[in-house]
Amino acid sequence: MRNAIIRALCALLLMSTASGCIALVAGAAGGAAGVTYAKGKLTDRVDAPIAQVHAATIMALEGRGLQIHNDELHGASAKVRSETADDKRIWIDIESITPNSSKITIRVGARGNHPRQVTILDAIKANL
């Protein structure tokens, strides 16, 4: 019985690291809610309409001295692209969930950079 439990835990750990979701599994195990980090992307839900979140995103990036390379707002979705000073690409996608709530997904670099992504998310929220 003990060996079966150990094998199951090892299999779960292996699957989690192979798919890049170890932080998500750890957060779920700890009962965390709200912000998730999976496959190099940071995702959060905010209680603000998409146009307001989009404007807050532009202000957050420009406030950090980051140049906007691409900025698209189309009804229920928005995409903002930028780049860090050390040439790491920044992808920010915003989706409308309801008329008064939105989902923000942030990725910095090819594999993600959690500390930088949290900093950008905090700056966006500060502008809401």
- 93: domain CATH number is 3.30.310.80
Residues 29 and 47 occupy one common structural domain:
no
Residues 97 and 39 occupy one common structural domain:
yes
Residues 23 and 53 occupy one common structural domain:
no
30 alpha carbon, distance to own chain's centre = 19
Q: pTM value?
A: 0.72
Tens place of pLDDT for every residue, the chain, 128 residues?
555 555 554 554 445 444 444 444 444 433 344 677 778 999 999 999 999 999 999 999 999 999 999 999 998 999 999 999 999 999 999 999 999 999 999 999 999 999 999 999 999 999 99
- Separation CA 125–CA 21 (nearest Å): 24
Q: Domain span at residue 104? A: 34-126
How many domains, in total, are found in the chain? Answer: 2
Residues 25 and 48 occupy one common structural domain:
no
SS3 of 38, please? strand
Residues 43 and 66 occupy one common structural domain:
yes
- Separation CA 54–CA 78 (nearest Å): 7
Residues 4 and 15 occupy one common structural domain:
yes
Query: And the tokens for 15?
Result: 């699957």
8-state DSSP, 21: -
- Separation CA 105–CA 91 (nearest Å): 8
Residues 8 and 38 occupy one common structural domain:
no
